[in-house]
Structure 1
Amino acid sequence: MNREKESIRSLEPYVTNPTVCSVKLDANEGDKDLYRDLLKKLGESDITLNYYPDDSYSELKKEINNYVGYEPKNITVGNGSSELLDLCVKTFVDKDETILSLDPTFSMYSIYAQVFSAKYIGAKAEEDFKVNVDSIIKDIKENNPKLIILCNPNNPTGSVLTKKEVRKIVKSTDALIALDEAYMEFGDESLIDEVMDYDNLLIVKTVSKAFSLAGIRMGYIVANEDIITSIEKVRAPYNLNSLSAYIATEALRQKERMFDYVKKIKEEREKIYKALVYLGVKAYKSGANFVFFKSDIDNLQKKLVDKDVLIRKFSGKLDGYYRVSVGTKGQNEKFLEAFKEVI
């Protein structure tokens, strides 16, 4: 007997690539050594694992405040930005209401919509995956979405909406807009300083990318108090464990490390982009910690795996497209060396 609810019967589980390579550049992860010393500090801390976490996450929110400049009443935290975006759908979208996003974009947005029996619309990008703001606004007016999710910089293309463009979209509608800025530390167009200027905007951030802490699964939302209060009604108690909260707090206290790391990633990203273009590859300018490109080489991913390098391969409408994370200087050099050998 199939006991699944109707909305999820056509879904396939989200499966990560189990391939093991010494140069792993497929998942936009950061430098394993950036905050490695916090593991030792964690072991020396006085965390008590027999107690539930402080559900107000007061120390963590204090450091988020020091980073982005907003009080705890304007912040909620969660088990990665993925949980928080799921919470946004759970909080604000009813069955048969519409969620609008970009196409292509992060695949989980459409999955969240399907799980909650909502309609999903992907606003088509133009040639070269450029986002046409006027076209998005037209789609918004025609489809009247309850929630709009914008990934900026966009994953997997790396394209960036400017502040001016995001403002134009936000002002064009009363719909709630969730601005997913998971990669924005690598870009220069964050709207975080203006989030309180709009009553229909929330911004989702994470420590997975720029802070190189994907393994602790900590993200947060910044928004006006009304939006945060609504999400708090749905958020499960103790949704972030004590260990993750501690490490995220300590990393935010040492955010200068992240700033230095981001500077290096931007420099390495430009090197990879220019090297691919020089090799005749159709690569796309990126505002994130990866480079998206097209290649007609048969079995490119497998040929790179044979050289101990793993990148992300896409399929379906993006067949022939790839995404390589920007790693350490040594990892990037190994990727480019392997790529040159393949071609």
Structure 2
Amino acid sequence: MLNEVINLQFTTVKDPLPDFIYQSLRSFSQGANTYRPQPSELIEKLSFIYKLPKEMIYLTAGADEAIQMFIHAYGEHTFAFTPTYVVYSDAKEFGKMFTEVYSIKENEFLISTAKINDASLIFLANPNNPSGFTSKEKVLDLVRNNSQAKVVIDEAYGDFANLSVINCVKDFPQMAVLGSFSKGYAMAGNRIGYIIANPEVISTVKNKAQWSNVSYLSVGAAIAALDHEEYFRDMRKSIVERRERFITFLKNNRFSFLPAKINAVVLRFRDENEGTKFYNFLCANNIISSYGNGNSNIGLNKSFVRIAIGNKSQMQILENVISKFGRKAD
């Protein structure tokens, strides 16, 4: 049994941020003595990158705040394609109707793009957490077919896949895209993200957030990350390579898993007993994973175990431990 606990429960990047991030924060630290609602420095940078007017960008305290803003503004009857991210189900906590559209067919995440007549708000994570993805064409079909609802495409993991539809938002008044620095830029603890939407939508949802809702230091960190895009591009490439090596390992050892485009892989076992046995085996070897829905998902039972992609040494240890597991997934 390992002495050091390896926590692969959450899909955070396991390596620390590079020194150049905090070295760039001096002026932002000095300027944090006052309220700074919607700091223009980051909005202007995102506007330049995406070639969109500043009025279409609103900064948020991570994607979670953005999700909750849309629920408060439009979520009278919220739909989400599951299994997916748990925060969409906050609609229930806020007194709204919430409907899960289960979208796993065999081992594939396949959504229907048909009109959802009762929907006022539809969430689609793309790439999806815990697994799966939807092509750009199908995303836009979903938007076109649901003009009666606000359709929010959550691209919190978008930096790991070439699936973004940000450049299409201006063509669909009911569409919004959520971005985040939590995963692709390893800044989950900084809580910084953004909404891309038409100005009318921004005008409505911004009233559901605090007036000065983002940390000025986090804004500075996000700007520094964008100024070092090559570093983070290489970081993401390395994570994807480790994920693909892990998938090859699972295939070679006859484990069943769901297709992945994020920094995690979901194993699927023949039943909940086998999933529980595997999860407990990892725990006994000081490896923490996400069991069933865990703390992050909805729509999974305990035959599913999600494992985040760790650093190189963590993944080697993980594979060594799994190699000793007595029974394989089906």
Whether the TM-score (by the shorter chain) exceeds 0.5 is yes
Distance change (3 Å), C-alpha of 1:267 and 1:317: closer
1:176-215 matches, cutoff 5 A:
176-215=150-189
Equivalent residue for 1:258? Answer: 232
1:324-335 matches, cutoff 5 A:
324-335=307-318
Question: What is the TM-score of this pair, normalised by structure 2?
Answer: 0.88
In 2, the alpha carbon distance for the partners of 1:163 and 1:317 equals 25
1:144-183 matches, cutoff 5 A:
144-156=118-130, 158-174=131-147, 175-183=149-157
How far off its partner does 1:85 sit?
0.6
* 1:124 aligns to 2:106 (yes or no): no
CA offsets 1:128-162 (integer angstroms, 9 cap, x no match): 353444x4515x13xx2100011111111x21100
Runs of 4+ that moved beyond 4 A: 43-46
In 1, the alpha carbon distance for the partners of 2:200 and 2:28 equals 35
1:130-149 matches, cutoff 5 A:
130-133=108-111, 135-137=112-114, 140-141=116-117, 144-149=118-123
Distance change (3 Å), C-alpha of 1:113 and 1:34: same
* 1:294 aligns to 2:268 (yes or no): yes
Equivalent residue for 1:88? Answer: 70
Q: Which runs of 5+ in 2 are unaligned?
A: 294-298
Equivalent residue for 1:308? Answer: 286
How far off its partner does 1:324 sit?
1.0
In 1, the alpha carbon distance for the partners of 2:170 and 2:214 equals 25
Q: Which amino acid aligns with 1:137?
A: A
CA offsets 1:77-127 (integer angstroms, 9 cap, x no match): 11110011100111223xxx31111121112211x2112211111112142
Q: Which amino acid aligns with 2:177?
A: I
In 1, the alpha carbon distance for the partners of 2:126 and 2:109 equals 11
Q: Report if the CA contact (8 A) 2:155-2:177 is conserved.
A: yes
Root-mean-square deviation (Å): 2.1
How far off its partner does 1:300 sit?
2.4
Question: What is the TM-score of this pair, normalised by structure 1?
Answer: 0.85
The count of corresponding residues between Structure 1 and Structure 2 is 314
In 1, the alpha carbon distance for the partners of 2:4 and 2:215 equals 30
- Percent identity between the two aligned chains: 24
Q: Which runs of 5+ in 1 are unaligned?
A: 1-19
Equivalent residue for 2:9? Answer: 26
Q: Which amino acid aligns with 1:162?
A: S
Equivalent residue for 1:16? Answer: none
